[in-house]
Structure 1
Amino acid sequence: MTPPGVDLLRHPVEATDLVLLAHGGSEHSSADPHLWSGAILRMWPFAEAVRSAVPEAAIGLMRYRYRGWNGAAADPAVDLRAVLDGLPPVIRRVVLIGHSMGGRTVVAAGDHPRVAGVLALAPWLPDGEPLTALRPPVTFAHGTLDTITDPRATTAYANRLRATGTPVTVYAVEAETHGMLHRPTDWNALVATFTANALGSVPTSATGADSEPLPQYGRRSSAAAVLSIAVARLRMPVLERFQVG
């Protein structure tokens, strides 16, 4: 078993901010996640989007011990908290961006004092998921055609958070499925804008609506999404690994 850690894709010498990407996984699995799994590869274009938006920040891919959530053990959330606790003191702010199980992971750990924003993409938030006092800004986005995780559950969780006083923005991504491959330009724009706002001096305010449509900037193309994954993977190799435990 490999200890939890972060694969750094960008690490400016004077970086004090880290954008941490948390990939999806399985409901139950003790298998070791590997860099060439589809769930991890899907996060690479977001790393490029972040690099353009906040070039002064470090960028890393969260690496869990196991591929699965694994019931009450909540292994990925435990791993993410361990990483946040163990980061060097020079890293003062961390923006968390997660997809699917990674969305559940960043929500579960989003109250950590180092967190400066939580973006959950097509998150897996089952009924009864415990509320976390997330540190704003907080945005959820979910494809309307997602049959793997439930967009209605995402909105329900957001409304529960709002009831506690936490501002949340929710985007409905029309004609999009769980893999986020039909509207790649729009997902990348969301990641870039959210990150820039979270690490800026004046973050944007959350909207009050249950959900609103995600703006469409580019054409819908799954082929372009797959190509962008391959290109980003080549342009941004893993530079080093930060490991805890």
Structure 2
Amino acid sequence: MTQHETPERGALLGRASGADGSGTAVGGAVILLPGRPGMPLLSPGPVRALVRELARAGGPDGLAAHVVRGGADDSPERAVDEVVRRYGDVPVCLAGYGTGGLAALRGGGHPAVNSVLALAPWVPDEPASVPPEPVKHLAGRQVLIVHGTNDGRADPELSFRLAARAKKANRSTCRFEVHSDGHRLREHRAEVVALAVDFVLGAVMGGRWSRPVTDALAAPPPLGLRMPLASGFGRSLRG
């Protein structure tokens, strides 16, 4: 696996958090798509806290985290291309929140992407006459979807249906439900971020997943697609 030193900042990627920003050689990267073009960067949702924790937990081992500039969620493939130009042949997790979650799922077929993280993804409710969201391109990737059960903006049932179809094309797909939480995943923010960090470190940096993530990936549907996120998740993980 090639590790490149830090080149100049590109057009799509925001400033790196983690390895790139500290001068450590980069061995893996996360691209975050906050969604909602035109909204302030890193707003709303759990993206800010996730970037901070990814840098803290993975930065010393070579993980670089980038937020796509301006929250644009329509260019995930170009963002991945930019990571490849910057760092070379390193594993990439494409992550997103809201409409960015859908963009991450759609862009997950890029050859450099080895994993996809979708937080409260907005999935269109399409009529039966319209083909559903494609999922076959996710084969060979690790995929985690996290959704609050009380999400009034992005229907959690639609993300479940997408996950069920994705599971048929790719066994390495799982989905966690955050009971009583809404679209911003505010009530259980710490647990959501801990789960996301656990997944990314395992998928991108070759770490060991926690037991809940391992069980969710291995469980048949619908069990592995309606896994409850336990209160207090992450308190005993990685110190």
TM-score between the two structures when normalised by the length of structure 2: 0.75
Counterpart in the other structure of 2:68: 62
Q: Aligned partners of 2:55 and 2:117: how far apart in 1?
A: 16
* Alignment check: 8 A CA contact 2:34 2:100 kept: yes
Counterpart in the other structure of 2:230: 215
Counterpart in the other structure of 1:105: 103
Aligned residue runs from structure 1 range 95-244, under 5 A: 95-127=93-125, 128-134=132-138, 135-198=140-203, 199-200=205-206, 204=214, 206=217, 207-208=219-220, 209=223, 210-217=225-232
Report the CA distance between 1:184 and its aligned residue.
1.3
CA offsets 1:200-244 (integer angstroms, 9 cap, x no match): 1666461322311012117xxxxxxxxxxxxxxxxxxxxxxxxxx
Report the CA distance between 1:164 and its aligned residue.
2.1
Report the CA distance between 1:90 and its aligned residue.
2.7
Matched residue SS, 2:67: strand
If asked which structure has higher relative contact order (CA below 8 Å, sep 6+), I would say: 1
Q: Aligned partners of 1:42 and 1:169: how far apart in 2?
A: 19
Work out whether 1:19 is the aligned partner of 2:30.
yes
Q: Aligned partners of 2:161 and 2:16: how far apart in 1?
A: 34
Cα distance change of structure 1 residues 42 and 130 upon mapping to structure 2, 3 Å threshold: same
Q: Aligned partners of 1:65 and 1:23: how far apart in 2?
A: 5
Q: Which runs of 5+ in 1 are unaligned?
A: 27-31, 67-75, 219-245
Q: Which runs of 5+ in 2 are unaligned?
A: 1-10, 126-131, 234-239
* Aligned with 2:80 (options 80, 84, 98): 84
Count of equivalent residues: 200
Q: Percent same amino acid at aligned positions?
A: 24
Q: Aligned partners of 1:168 and 1:180: how far apart in 2?
A: 21
What is the Cα-based RMSD across aligned positions, in Å? 2.4
CA offsets 1:45-102 (integer angstroms, 9 cap, x no match): 1012212331221111112585xxxxxxxxx23x111121233253411112211111
TM-score between the two structures when normalised by the length of structure 1: 0.73
